[in-house]
Amino acid sequence: MHIFATLLSILLFSISSFGAYAASRDEVLTEVQLREKPNILAQSIVNTLPQLPQLDSAETFDKFTQSYRLPAAELIRNIQLTARLKMELYNKEKDRYLAAKSLIEQLAHISHSPFDKSYLLMLKGRYLGRSQQDYAGAIEYYQQAIPLIEQSTVLADQVLLYTLQEHLSMMHMIMRQKESALIHLKKLISTAKKIENNYLTAHAESVLGKYFYKQNQLGKSLSHYTEAVKYTRGGKNPSQNAHIELQLARVYRDLASWDEALKSANKAADAFTQLGNLNYVSSSMTVIAMIYANQDLWYQAIDYHLNAQQIETQLGNYIGLGLNLHNIGEAYFKIGDTQNSLSNLKQANAIFTSKKAEHYLVYNDLLIAEVTASVSQWQESQLYATKAAKIAESKQLNEELKEALERQAYAQEQLGLYEQAYNSIQQLQTLNSQATPQASELDKQRSQVKEQKLKLKISKLQNELQDKSEQLNITRLVSILCVFPLCLLILLSVKQWRIKNKLATANQELQATQLLEPFTQQPSYLSFKLNFENQNEKQQKTLALVSLSAQLDSDLTQGFECNADMNRQQLLAIKNALDCKAYIIRPGVFLISLDSIIEANQLLAQLRDIIDSNHGQTSIHMGILHRPLLADLAIKLSAEQHFLSLQMMLSAARTLGLSQDYFVTMKTLNFASAGIFNKPLYLNIEKSIVRGIVKIETNGDKDNIVWPRWKIHQNIDINDDKVDI
């Protein structure tokens, strides 16, 4: 029984192993997963890859695969992926490079096919570039790897070729070899088109955008990033989208589009934080810091650089830490803190020197030379300028060499080393005279670039033509299916437009009607408020509230129709005779607004003449005010405050009786405050009258006036000094 169980388990293991490796690996999916979800890919390999012995020969490897019944090709592929994953940025293991080196050495014994040999060379180059920043040595390995698979049409070879072209273009960009970088970028785009995968095409476009960004061709860079976004399939690949947002932030930053730059950088930082990719969280923080730095907001820039520095320290990424120290040193220099500036710059200098990162060291040396010169440390300034000049000359960085020579010459002059300063200036002048390449060489370079562009354009047009021919039939069918709903949509839109216009017209009519008194269809109190708010005091000098006291109940005694006709006639007669604005408040009560000062007696007499000619069997009472009510013209009273004051004056006039026509008006003293017209207005005005702040004028007996009171102050003693205004 025990033997049977053992045999059964071996059989099942063999079947499961065969099933696991029988299906060929989807190389495109694997490449996308390596870039988007490297942790998941690494874990899946760990789950299927047994513990490896030291594979020091092909024979050892063969024995191992036979003992575990593993397909040799699949095992080699898993080892290759493991070695590459060890060197990816997501990996935080301390001995990751040692582990990668060990796997590479083992692969050297078992790599025989062109694909395996090419992949091995790529891993060797990747190891030099990642662990030692030896990009020149890495490029040599990559250039040996490409010819082995360049002519192959196998998908796995094409995906590997894509990776080789991408890495080569990036390394050439780091080494500022822009022509070589562009050649590999064009091949990268061409390879992506052959593979026909949206993710890889989008990534290729974004790398090309990065290239043009490095060349300060921001328009082209932005167009390529925009093209990359078209292939991202609505955010299904968060890592890729985050990288594109980060690069867009850099482009927008250099275009001085600060809002867009900050928006993209913060999106990238959030996305990388969710992905747990601290390396690029640091990069996002650095970009945000530089956005603030470009606006001379140096303190905000320092805050974000310090955040990035903490992350780089946590990760043990010394090159990134050095770059942040360099940026912090520059920011401190800009705010005048040269001591902190030099401290950070020299720490960065030590890191770049230990890592032999001369492409970063040259800029750090130049900045130290500038900072030390600002505090007259000429000996140190000369030292670092000389170091920068040597590196720039060896790297053929002409612009940096010019700056280094200028700083070197200036420091030597300050130190009294006039002969050395003269030699530096002579070298600078020679460099300036040689700055422009010969015309024939320049033309040759331009023709080569044009030729490459034309080839790329032809390839692109051919691919587009093929795609369009395939899409044409689908487009026709879709067009037919879309015509009917489109026509229906147009009809619905027209109907909705007509309904909208009809409702808009009805709304305008309702708004206009709202301002009219319902029975007479003449301007009402709401119309007065609107006109008051839209006019200044020069247009409204006299306000009067007129009561035809015997006709206040005529709407009941003779019906609203007859009364409305009478009030309309009276209102229009007042308006035409006085050339004023007239409003009906309620039956028998009119509000008059005149643009000139008219005395109360004169206005009352004119009103008597007008009313006598228009159903004048009534006494007239009038409250009248002359604007402004307060001496301080800076104080603005509302339409409501004026109207309530007129109501109080009219109420007072009506208490004088019906024996004749009466008016009541008021005037304030020069020192009167706006508090008089605050709520409760009747109480405040009456109290002001008692105190003498407000003067009352009338054509009747003031002593007979009974002032109206609001309910809230009917029981208040108006002579009590404790009642405040």
CA angle, corner 509, sides to 503 and 510, nearest 5? Answer: 85
pLDDT top residue among 364 and 478 = 364
Q: What is the pLDDT of residues 599-636, one digit of tens each?
A: 999 999 999 999 988 887 899 999 999 988 888 888 88
What is the phi/psi pair of residue 417, to 5°? -90, 70
Beta strands 589-594 and 581-586 are antiparallel
What HEC string does 249-288 produce?
HHHHHHCCCHHHHHHHHHHHHHHHHHHCCHHHHHHHHHHH
> In this predicted structure, what is the pLDDT of residue 450?
43
> How far is the C-alpha of 103 from the C-alpha of 83, rounded, in Å?
6
Mean pLDDT, residues 649-674 = 91
- The pLDDT score that the predictor gives to residue 45 is 85
- Give 279-292 pLDDT, tens digit per residue: 889 889 999 999 99
pLDDT 10s digits, 64-88: 777 767 788 888 888 889 889 989 8
Q: In what order do the strands lie in the sheet with 542-548?
A: 581-586, 589-594, 542-548, 620-626, 662-668, 694-698
Specify the pTM. Answer: 0.47
Per-residue model confidence (pLDDT) at position 404? 80
CA torsion, points 355, 359, 364, 369, in degrees to nearest 10? 120
Tell me the Ramachandran region of residue 723: left when phi exceeds 0, alpha when psi lies from -120 to 50, beta otherwise. Answer: beta
Sign of CA dihedral 428, 430, 436, 442: negative
Residue 247 has a pLDDT of 87
3-state helix, strand, coil in the chain (%, to 5): 70, 5, 20
Q: Residue 561: its pLDDT value, please?
A: 86
CA–CA separation, 576 vs 430, rounded Å? Answer: 94
